[in-house]
Amino acid sequence: MMKGLCILAFILVFAAMAGNSSFPTDAAAHTSEGEALVKNVCGRCHSAQRVCANLGRDQIYWERTVTRMRQNGAALSAPDISSAATYLAGQKKDTAPFCN
């Protein structure tokens, strides 16, 4: 009986800790990575104004655009292209941190 209560207590504590985790979710990590890529890689050649003018476009548009950047010499891996495109496709002109 006591062993069963200890296991139940462990499960409850573990579940509570998992719900309040301070580790970033995959989506949060993907967003911060995409934001860093836009700032550090795209920003080397493109102004924020140019990037902001194209916000509101879909994932395919941004994948093609970022792939073209790579073909023109941007230091981007295939996962970087995906991260940047996902981040940019999710931004809106009026709320993107780099457009204000």
The reported pTM is: 0.68
- pLDDT the model gives residue 98: 83
Tens-level pLDDT at each residue, the chain (100 residues): 555 544 544 454 444 444 444 334 455 555 688 899 999 999 999 999 999 999 999 999 999 999 999 999 999 999 999 999 999 999 998 888 888 7
Give the C-alpha separation, 13 to 34, whole Å.
Answer: 34
C-alpha–C-alpha distance, residues 91 and 6, integer Å = 47
Q: What is the CATH number of domain 31-100?
A: 1.10.760
Tell me which residue of 66, 65, 62, 63 sits closest to 75, measured CA to CA. 66
Other Cβ atoms within 10 Å of 37 Cβ, number: 23
The neighbour count for residue 83, using CB atoms within 10 Å, is 23
